Amino acid sequence: MFVVVPGEIDDFTDYARRAVPRLETAFAQVCCRAGLVYHFEQADAGWLLVLTDGERPECSPEPIRSNYVKRADAQRDLMLQAVEGRLRGWAAVPLDVLRRASSANAEAGAASAPVIT
């Protein structure tokens, strides 16, 4: 389970309600919210995730590279890299990580929601 989160997680505590069951869904939501379209390209000794700005293609980020040879392995690796790397302020975080961070903040007496970096 993954939760798509903005860069700042203030007032964002209902993680379970916003969770999606699959990496593919989380990845698609992150790309959509970041205004990016994507495709996978086979490259020498691996694969690329090519991200394109939907409104301003000249502002597109550099492709993300995976050294995996098998397509399925490479796509999973590339999607994980993308959602963990924050695309224009958006990320997908495993639900259990958010719950642990929230519990740790509550135990420490923190007044705000966790900020995942």
> For the chain, which residues make up each domain, given as ranges?
2-107
What local confidence, expressed as pLDDT, does residue 35 receive? 93
What local confidence, expressed as pLDDT, does residue 116 receive? 55
Show pLDDT as tens, one digit a residue, over the chain (117 residues): 898 888 666 555 667 778 899 999 999 999 999 999 999 999 998 999 999 998 999 999 999 999 999 999 999 999 999 998 878 888 898 888 877 877 776 666 645 555 554
Residues 14, 1 contacting (CB under 8 angstroms): no
The long-range contacts involving 16-21, CB below 8 angstroms and separated by at least 24 positions, are 16/95, 19/95, 20/92
What local confidence, expressed as pLDDT, does residue 106 receive? 63
